Amino acid sequence: MSQTIEFFWEPGSPYTYLAGTQIEKVAAATGAKVVWKPFLLGKVFENRGMKMPASIPAKASYMFKDLARWAQIYQVPLTMPTVFPISSLIASRAAIAASQLGFEAAAAKAILQTYWGEGLDISQPEVLSAAFTKAGLDAAAIFARAQEQSVKDQLKENTEEALKRGVFGAPTMFVGDAMFWGNDRLEQVGLVLAGKIKA
pLDDT digits 0-9 by tens, 91-126: 999 999 999 999 999 999 999 999 999 999 999 999
pLDDT band for 11, please (50, 70, 90 cuts).
very high
* Residue 96 maps to a domain: yes
* Residue 11 maps to a domain: yes
Residues of the domain holding 36 = 4-193
Q: Which residues participate in catalysis according to the annotation?
A: 13
* Residue 141 maps to a domain: yes
What is the C-alpha to C-alpha distance for residues 38 and 48, in angstroms, rounded to an integer? 18
What is the C-alpha to C-alpha distance for residues 157 and 52, in angstroms, rounded to an integer? 22
Contact 111, 11 (CB under 8 A): yes
For 23, 101, 175, the CA distances from 198, given in Å and listed in that order, are 19, 36, 11
Contact 171, 19 (CB under 8 A): yes
* Residue 69 maps to a domain: yes
Instruction: Tell me the angle at which helices 89-100 and 149-164 cross, rounded to the nearest 10 degrees.
Output: 110
Amino acid at 94: A
Q: What mean pLDDT do residues 53-66 have?
A: 88
Task: Find the CATH number of the domain harbouring 78.
Answer: 3.40.30.10
* Residue 198 maps to a domain: no
Query: How does the average pLDDT of the chain come out, rounded?
Result: 96
* Residue 129 maps to a domain: yes
Residue 1 has pLDDT above 70, yes or no: no
Amino acid at 193: L
Q: Where are the alpha helices (DSSP H) in the chain?
A: 14-20, 23-30, 41-48, 57-74, 89-100, 104-112, 125-134, 139-146, 149-164, 186-193
What is the C-alpha to C-alpha distance for residues 94 and 165, in angstroms, rounded to an integer? 24
What is the C-alpha to C-alpha distance for residues 40 and 145, in angstroms, rounded to an integer? 19
* Residue 199 maps to a domain: no
* Residue 82 maps to a domain: yes
Residue 157 has pLDDT above 70, yes or no: yes
pLDDT tens per residue across span 66-88: 999 999 999 999 999 989 999 99
The set of residues, in sequence order, having a beta carbon less than 8 Å from that of 189 and lying 6+ positions away, is: 5, 23, 26, 173, 175, 180
Residue 2 has pLDDT above 80, yes or no: no
Residue 59 has pLDDT above 90, yes or no: no
The tally of CA atoms less than 13 A away on the side-chain side of residue 129 is: 7
Give the pLDDT of residue 153: 98
pLDDT band for 148, please (50, 70, 90 cuts).
very high
Report the DSSP beta bridge partners of residue 173. Answer: 7, 180
Domains held by the chain: number: 1
